[in-house]
Amino acid sequence: MHDYIRGALHLLLVPALLFGLGACDVEDGDDCDEMGVCADGGAEGEGEGEGEGEGEGEGEGEGEGEGEFNCVDACAEVTGSGCYNETNCPGGFNDIAALDNACEAACSQGLIDAQELDEEPDCPPAVELVLDNSQAARDICEEDVDLSGGACDPSDLGAGVCLNINDGRYDCEGEGGQFASGLCPGGDDIVCCIDYGCATDDGFTGVCIDEKLCDTETVSNLCPGNANIKCCLDPK
């Protein structure tokens, strides 16, 4: 009888020792089977630990990334707000894609602070920040463009129109006018032509100026330049 009992105990203890199942105590909250062995308690605990660790790690990583400033959004905010114009960027204020790329490149190199750019509420300092730190953006904005056709109004000489001296269609001096440098936007070849002469078919003469500056009658389509540049007839 004793040999039978010892044999039964041996059969129960050997698997427990080999597989590390250990003792099971219901009072301690263990999940025990009929043989008094923990039922996959270790596997469940390990699974819970891995799940909690992964969940916490993913949650923390996502949370940290949400508040970061990025170059793409910061640069797009400047171009999207219409901050570039023909005054601060005459060479390419309409080339949004090129300006965005130049800004993003400088920002990714650490030359522009994305947070500083994103938090700048006004256009002039935002554009200045980009142009001061991006050579590519400066090159775009300083490209030579033909800005002829606008009005120029040097008070000591009289009013005139901005002409491209390389445009053979218009002869400022031949039409009785005179050149004045430094009064027009664009390159050195864009100069102000003062007193560019004009005449109507019926013999009335005048000069080409901005219609707002004319104190007499104006006639369209007799002058070079934009639509606001008209022949201002001489006083009768």
Write out pLDDT tens, residues 164-207: 888 888 899 999 999 888 888 777 888 899 999 999 999 999 99
Say how many residues make up the chain: 236
Q: Which two tokens stand for residue 182?
A: 């430094």
Number of domains forming the structure of the chain? 3
pLDDT at 18: 45
Q: Which two tokens stand for residue 124?
A: 């002039």
Give yes or no: residues 10 and 81 share one domain.
no
Asked if residue 54 is part of any domain, the answer here is: yes
Give yes or no: residues 120 and 94 share one domain.
yes
Instruction: Report the phi/psi class of residue 20: left, alpha or beta, with left for phi > 0 and alpha for psi in -120 to 50.
Output: left
State which of 86, 110, 141 marks the end of a domain. Answer: 141
- What is the extent of the structural domain holding 128? 71-141
Asked if residue 66 is part of any domain, the answer here is: no
State which of 141, 172, 187 marks the end of a domain. Answer: 141
pTM, two decimals, is 0.40
Give yes or no: residues 132 and 159 share one domain.
no
Give yes or no: residues 56 and 75 share one domain.
no
pLDDT at 197: 95
Give yes or no: residues 106 and 173 share one domain.
no
